[in-house]
Every structure is written in C-alpha cells, then in structure tokens.
C-alpha cells in the first residue's frame, strides 16, 4: 500500500491499493505510474501485488505517480509503504518524492548491509543518507 498526503491541508492525494496484475509497473498500471529516469532500463515489476526493484550497478528505472500538486517550502508530506528486503550489498535509495522536474526530495535508502541485516537511511535531497 502506498499513501501520500499533505498534512498542512489534510488532503489525501493518493491512496494506492497496488492491486495490479503481474508485469511492468508502467504498463500494468494503465499509465498511472510513469518512468521519469532510465525508462526501460531494468523496469520496476509488479509481482503478487508488490513492486519489485532489482538494484545493482548502472541505471535503473525510476517510476512515479503524479499527485497533481506542487511541493512548496514548509509543506509536510507523508508516505507509508511496506518493504521486504531480499539481500543486497550496495547503498541505494528506493523511494522519494519528486517535483514537477527531476528534483528528488526525502529519499529513503537501504544501507549498511551485513548478511541479512540492513539499515534504512534518509536524506533531504542528497545522494547519500544524512541519517540512519
């Protein structure tokens, strides 16, 4: 499930049930989700009502769903989702808010892998976490 709201006005922009058939997210969502970076390069897949991202070296597709709202300074946004990690070794961000251009805010990372253990990290717009 993916929820997105703006607390200052208490508006719900997206209540994403994520009940798509298996396949490429941008295709099976009927255009609700769109690629904004590296389109077609290791696309995000839907598998059993979940988004599956295959991280690694090189470009990977980033997808977004448009809220129709412009983020402004001082706004408070909220997002919630379930995460399952199946191994990894590289620090990588997997979620963020996106403005009308390609500015990525509030990046969420998986970092500090040690066997099956991992740590989440956060940053404002930096490419590395500022806190874990």
Of 9, 2, 132, the closest CA to residue 76 belongs to 9
| Mean per-residue pLDDT pooled into runs of 10, the chain (132 residues) | 51 83 94 84 87 76 81 80 77 79 81 79 88 89
Strand pairing report for 92-98 and 51-52: unpaired
pLDDT reported for residue 1: 45
Q: What is the DSSP letter of 38?
A: S
Contact by Cβ (8 Å): 22, 29: no
**Whole-structure pTM value:** 0.74
């Amino acid at each position: 499930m993916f929820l997105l709201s703006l607390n200052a006005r208490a508006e719900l922009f997206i209540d994403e049930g994520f009940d798509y058939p298996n396949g490429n997210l941008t295709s099976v969502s009927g255009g609700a989700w769109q690629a904004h970076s590296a389109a077609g390069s290791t696309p995000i897949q839907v598998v059993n009502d979940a988004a599956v991202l295959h991280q690694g070296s090189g470009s990977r597709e980033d997808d977004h769903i448009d809220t129709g709202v412009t983020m402004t300074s001082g706004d408070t946004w909220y997002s919630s989702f379930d995460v399952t990690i199946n191994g990894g070794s590289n620090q990588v961000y997997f979620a963020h808010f996106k403005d009308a251009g390609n500015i990525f805010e509030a990046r969420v990372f998986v970092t500090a892998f040690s066997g099956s253990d991992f740590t989440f990290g956060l940053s404002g717009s930096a490419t590395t976490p500022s806190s874990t």
